């Protein structure tokens, strides 16, 4: 087992001196990342504390807040209308920080099923839903979803009836997108927390549905 | 926003293929769609990509395309669509074509 | 002329549903980009970052992972803007590498 350096206590950088076990073998890009971070800290462009806080913020985001917004919208039609108008402002009403990049929610209905992609890079509402899954950023998803959405949805186990429009949203500009899924039947007696538990990340991307009935 | 197009206008995406940081995807170039929503004006990312401020801001429109208009061999139902946010200078009105 | 990153509509195989947990260094890359882009500093816009990644060229998609492309783009922009120099980056990379290798002994 290796020993830590003697100047451990005043080590100004936020990361451990040894590579994290989860990082895998050391690569030039890992070295470059730490070198860039350290230079920027040396130059006081940001501090080690800033770095720590930002990492905590990244870790704090998951689909749960998006799920809570959806559940709240299902229970409160006025909130839903405001959410469809401006997700970021509506989020603030219920103490959720969705960040400053504008997010547009598109609503699934009995006539339209929506699904999101960024064909040009990997834009995703990460300040609300957390970091995206690998497949969302993959070549296969980015290439095929706009061209054969129903085939891609089928790979996720989702089949949309032919009389329902499938609408693909490609995030090409400033807006990020999320799906407001349809509330499933048989949930009339559920409270907000229980409803939120039904809402998955994948149904807020649009590759799955909870149910369409 | 002072804008050239409004919701409901039929538009065609310019058929141009410049290099640089372009946010109008290849698959919609030259294709016909309809303005479905007005998005705010925004500083131009094509300019901001090179460290410039991208001003004056460019109006952005949400354009709805029928899949059958985008892909010759589209396999799904004719109601299927794709929707994207496109900058004004990438759009032209259909009536300019006299058809 | 279609640029390599502009891939909507191209043929591709099945979508691989496997997911990996983001590793610490990947999150550090993300954190660096957020701090640089923040309104306090405005040293990197998302537009510049995307353009830098697009300019890595088509091989980057085959050879580099997602966050490897990210850190490459960030670093190139910082060098381009003179925020860091190639010389000091090279020096710091040597120091970082030596430290990590020493820690493993």
Tens of pLDDT along A65-78? 999 999 999 999 99
What value does the mean pLDDT take over residues C3-12? 96
What CATH architecture does domain A64-205 belong to? Answer: Alpha-Beta Complex (3.90)
Q: What is the pLDDT of residue A211?
A: 73
What value does the mean pLDDT take over residues A120-140? 97
Q: Which long-range contacts (CB under 8 A, 24 or more apart) does A78-87 make?
A: A80/A180, A83/A180, A84/A180, A87/A125, A87/A128, A87/A178
Predicted confidence band of residue A8 (pLDDT cuts 50, 70, 90): very low
Instruction: Give yes or no: A122 in active site.
Output: yes
**CA-to-CA distance for C69 and C47, rounded, in angstroms?**
15
Q: What is the pLDDT of residue C61?
A: 80
Q: What is the pLDDT of residue A10?
A: 43
Question: Contact at 8 Å (CB) between A112 and A164?
Answer: yes
Is beta strand B81-87 parallel, antiparallel or unpaired with respect to B58-66? Answer: antiparallel
CB of A162 within 8 Å of a chain B CB? The answer is: yes
Q: Is the pLDDT of residue A9 over 50?
A: no
More confident residue, A21 or B43: B43
End-to-end CA distance of chain A: 58
What value does the mean pLDDT take over residues A127-137? 96
Query: From the CA of A165, how many Å to the nearest CA of chain B?
Result: 5
By percentage, how much of chain B surpasses pLDDT 70? 94
**Does residue C12 lie within any of the structural domains?**
no
Overall domain count for chain C: 1
The string of pLDDT tens digits covering residues A32-46 is: 999 999 999 999 999
Q: What is the pLDDT of residue A213?
A: 46
Q: What is the pLDDT of residue B44?
A: 98
Select from A120, A149, A151 the Cβ nearest to the Cβ of B23: A120
Backbone phi and psi for residue A162, each to the nearest 5 degrees, phi listed first: -60, -25
**Does residue C16 lie within any of the structural domains?**
no
Q: What is the pLDDT of residue B2?
A: 72
Is this prediction's pTM over 0.80?
A: yes
More confident residue, A22 or A129: A129
Of A108, A110, A68, A115, give the one whose Cα is nearest residue A87: A68
The string of pLDDT tens digits covering residues A82-112 is: 999 999 999 999 999 999 999 999 999 999 9
Which are the contacts of C8, defined by CB distance < 8 A and separation ≥ 6? A117, A119, A120, A142, A143, A146, A147, A170, B25, B26, B27
Q: What is the residue range of C38's domain? A: 24-103
**Does residue C8 lie within any of the structural domains?**
no
Is beta strand B81-87 parallel, antiparallel or unpaired with respect to A165-170? Answer: parallel
A173/B27 touch (CB, cutoff 8 Å), yes or no: no
CB of A151 within 8 Å of a chain C CB? The answer is: no
Q: What is the pLDDT of residue C102?
A: 86
A173/B23 touch (CB, cutoff 8 Å), yes or no: yes
CB of C24 within 8 Å of a chain A CB? The answer is: yes
**CA-to-CA distance for A210 and A212, rounded, in angstroms?**
7
Tell me, which fold does domain B10-97 have in CATH?
SH3 type barrels. (2.30.30)
More confident residue, A5 or B88: B88
A54/C25 touch (CB, cutoff 8 Å), yes or no: no
Query: From the CA of C73, how many Å to the nearest CA of chain B?
Result: 12
**Does residue C30 lie within any of the structural domains?**
yes
Q: Which residue has the tokens 């085959």?
A: C62
- State the CATH number of the domain containing residue C58: 1.10.472.20
Instruction: Give yes or no: A60 in active site.
Output: no
Show residues of chain A in contact with C20, CB under 8 Å.
134
Predicted confidence band of residue C92 (pLDDT cuts 50, 70, 90): very high
Q: What is the pLDDT of residue A21?
A: 59
Show residues of chain C in contact with B71, CB under 8 Å.
9
Task: Count CB atoms within 10 A of the CB of residue A87.
Answer: 26
User: Which ipTM value was assigned to this complex?
Assistant: 0.96
C81/B51 touch (CB, cutoff 8 Å), yes or no: yes
Q: What is the pLDDT of residue B81?
A: 98
Domain boundaries defined on chain A: 26-60, 64-205
List the structure tokens of C56.
């890595």
- For chains A and C, CB pairs below 8 A equal 169
**Summary mean pLDDT of chain C:** 95
Instruction: Give yes or no: A203 in active site.
Output: no
Q: Is the pLDDT of residue A6 over 80?
A: no
Q: Is the pLDDT of residue B1 over 80?
A: no
Of A52, C19, A38, give the one whose Cα is nearest residue A30: A38
Q: What is the pLDDT of residue B95?
A: 66
Q: Is the pLDDT of residue B99 over 80?
A: no
**Summary mean pLDDT of chain A:** 91
Q: Which of A47, A60, A62, A121 is catalytic?
A: A121
Q: What is the pLDDT of residue C58?
A: 87
């Amino acid at each position: 087992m290796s020993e830590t350096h003697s100047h451990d206590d005043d080590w100004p950088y936020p990361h451990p001196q040894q590579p994290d076990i989860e990082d895998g073998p050391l690569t030039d890009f890992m070295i470059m990342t730490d070198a860039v971070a350290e230079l920027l800290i040396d130059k006081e462009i940001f501090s080690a504390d800033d770095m720590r806080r930002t990492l905590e913020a990244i870790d704090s985001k998951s689909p749960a807040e998006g799920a809570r917004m959806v559940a709240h919208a299902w229970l409160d039609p006025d909130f839903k209308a405001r959410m469809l108008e401006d997700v970021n402002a509506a989020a603030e009403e219920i103490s959720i920080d969705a960040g400053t990049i504008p997010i547009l929610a598109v609503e699934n209905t009995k006539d339209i099923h929506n699904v999101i992609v960024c064909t040009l890079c990997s834009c995703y509402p990460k300040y609300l839903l957390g970091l995206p899954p690998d497949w969302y950023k993959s070549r296969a998803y980015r290439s095929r979803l706009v061209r054969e959405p129903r085939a891609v949805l089928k790979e996720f186990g989702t089949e949309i009836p032919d009389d329902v429009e499938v609408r693909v949203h490609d995030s090409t500009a400033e807006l990020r997108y999320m799906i407001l899924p349809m509330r499933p039947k048989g949930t009339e007696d559920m409270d907000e927390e229980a409803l939120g538990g039904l809402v998955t990340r994948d149904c807020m991307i649009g590759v799955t549905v909870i149910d369409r009935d | 926003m002072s804008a050239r197009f409004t919701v409901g206008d039929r538009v065609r995406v310019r058929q141009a293929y410049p290099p640089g940081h372009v946010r109008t995807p290849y698959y919609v170039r030259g294709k016909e769609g309809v303005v479905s929503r007005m998005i705010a004006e925004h500083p131009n990312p094509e300019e901001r990509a090179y460290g410039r401020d991208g001003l004056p801001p460019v109006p952005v429109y949400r354009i709805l395309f029928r899949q059958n208009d985008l892909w010759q061999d589209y396999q799904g139902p004719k109601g299927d669509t794709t929707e994207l946010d496109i900058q004004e200078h990438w759009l032209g009105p259909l009536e300019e074509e006299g058809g | 002329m279609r640029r390599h990153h502009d891939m909507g509509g191209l043929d591709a195989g099945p979508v691989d549903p496997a997911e990996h947990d983001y590793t610490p260094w990947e999150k550090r890359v993300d954190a660096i980009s957020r701090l640089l882009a923040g309104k306090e500093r405005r040293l990197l816009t998302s537009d510049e970052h995307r353009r830098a990644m697009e300019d890595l060229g088509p091989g980057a998609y085959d050879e580099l992972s997602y966050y490897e492309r990210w850190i490459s783009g960030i670093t190139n922009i910082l060098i381009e803007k003179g925020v860091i120099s190639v010389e000091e980056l090279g020096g710091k990379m040597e120091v970082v590498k030596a430290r990590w290798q020493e820690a493993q002994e």
